[in-house]
Amino acid sequence: MIEPAAISPDARLYLRPEGFVDTPVGRDGEVARIAGGLLWFSAYELIAVAGGARVVQASVPVPSLPGLIANLPASQTDRLRLLAERISAPRAPLSLGVRTIRLDQPQVMGILNLTPDSFSDGGRHDDSAGAAQAGYDMAAAGAALIDVGGESTRPGAQSVWEGDEIARLVPVIERLAASGTAISIDTRKAAVMDAALAAGAGLVNDVAALAWDDRAAGVAARAGCPVVLMHSPDPAKGPHAGEGYRDVLVEVFDWLEARIDAVVAAGVARDRILIDPGIGFAKSLADNLALLNGLALFHGLGCGIVLGTSRKRMIGALSNEAPVDQRLGGSVALALHGAGLGAQLLRVHDVAETVQALRIWRGLKDAGLMSRRS
């Protein structure tokens, strides 16, 4: 057990759930729950950072945390209590038009790119009827919502004029909305957000965390819609701008925490904010792996987690440079990894396969939750 004296009073503290268990049955007081969902854990990894470096990294059993907290300075006491509360607090369901999406279990967000140059599926959906049909098919296969985008975010992609982006998106969104499909709009432009929300989208998914367009936060605040804030180091320069990290997990957490505070100050309710660590955006393979392994740290932000790893370059890097159209196995593996660490929304291209994998995962979790210890 770590001694409070080992933690310098100026250190910034973090908690990451660890020691996951199959069931809380018979373990009252020994385990805590993640975000009101299906996962329970028996310990926190306590990370203390001072002078830009980790000075403490230790495991604290769940029942031992209150004793540790009671012996720390007031600012650190408040910090750890807040983190623990946010880790366990249920996430509010998302209301998107006529649909409500629960965040107490992992859900699939289907990717519908209406672009000629997206890295995986560019040019596949070049007419509104065909694109809408692809969205219907993903919803029928089990996607909780469809993420519609009209501008590629691959490295080197050209920016799209907002008028062209709107023209691509609105006819498809209108068709999907008319069918009762839940829709998110993947854009960083305020005018596109406005048009998409008016056409029937219910959530804004912004790779620039509402920081690329200075009007974007105001659009989201006025609409009262949920938003996804994705991490990228320098949103004003594009999602792939950045200069590297000393401790990517902690730095991305801090960036997102600051960005959440800024968006709340702009008028967006905190319970309508979700976060995305931005896998593959201005990050090396080692960075991406560190974020994925440490993903549970982000529950300390108190927001739902969106994870987008589908068909990404890291899968090729880890599997003999498999081309984009041969990354299904890796995509499903990463989706299940995210579900196992509590991610609430999994953004994927291959909806049917991911939904099936999650149903098996859910069956295993349900069996564990219903088990009894002898």
State pLDDT tens for residues 9-40.
Answer: 999 999 999 999 999 988 999 999 999 999 99
How much is the pLDDT for 347?
98
Q: How far apart are the first and last CA of the chain?
A: 29
User: Is residue 322 within 8 Å of 283, Cβ to Cβ?
Assistant: no
pLDDT at 228: 98
Pairing mode of beta strands 145-149, 183-186:
parallel
| 325-344 residue pLDDT tens | 999 999 999 999 999 999 99
Please name the residues in contact with 101: beta carbons below 8 A apart, sequence gap of 6 or more: 93, 94, 107, 144, 145, 182
Please tell me the predicted confidence (pLDDT) of residue 235: 77
3-class secondary-structure state, position 358: helix
Give the model's pLDDT for residue 233.
Answer: 85
- Cβ density class 164-184: b for 16+ within 10 Å, e for less: ebbebbbbbbbbbbeeebbbb
* In contact, 1 and 60? CB cutoff 8 Å: yes
Mean pLDDT of the chain: 92
CB 56 within 8 A of CB 76: no
- pLDDT at position 244: 82
Distance (Å) of CA 5 to CA 25, 43, 130: 34, 20, 63
What is the set of domains in the chain, with CATH numbers?
A: 4-88 (no CATH), 94-368 (3.20.20.20)
Residues 6+ apart with CB under 8 A from 177: 97, 183, 199, 200, 201
The predicted pLDDT at position 122 comes to 47
What integer pLDDT is reported at residue 152 of this predicted model? 76
pLDDT score for 118? 47
Q: What is the pLDDT of residue 175?
A: 97
Best CA proximity match to 187, nearest among 178, 197, 200, 177: 197
pLDDT at 374: 45
Catalytic residues: 312, 347
pTM summary value? 0.94
| Positions of E strands within 51-175 | 53-61, 94-96, 99-101, 107-113, 145-149
Q: What is the pLDDT of residue 32?
A: 98
Q: What is the pLDDT along the chain (374 residues), one digit of tens a residue?
A: 687 778 999 999 999 999 999 999 889 999 999 999 999 999 999 999 999 999 999 999 999 999 999 999 999 999 999 999 999 999 999 999 889 999 999 999 999 999 874 445 544 656 889 999 999 999 999 999 999 999 876 666 567 888 989 999 999 999 999 999 999 999 999 999 999 999 999 999 999 999 999 999 999 999 999 999 999 988 777 665 667 899 999 999 999 999 999 999 999 999 999 999 999 999 999 999 999 999 999 999 999 999 999 999 999 999 999 999 999 999 999 999 999 999 999 999 999 999 999 999 999 998 887 765 54
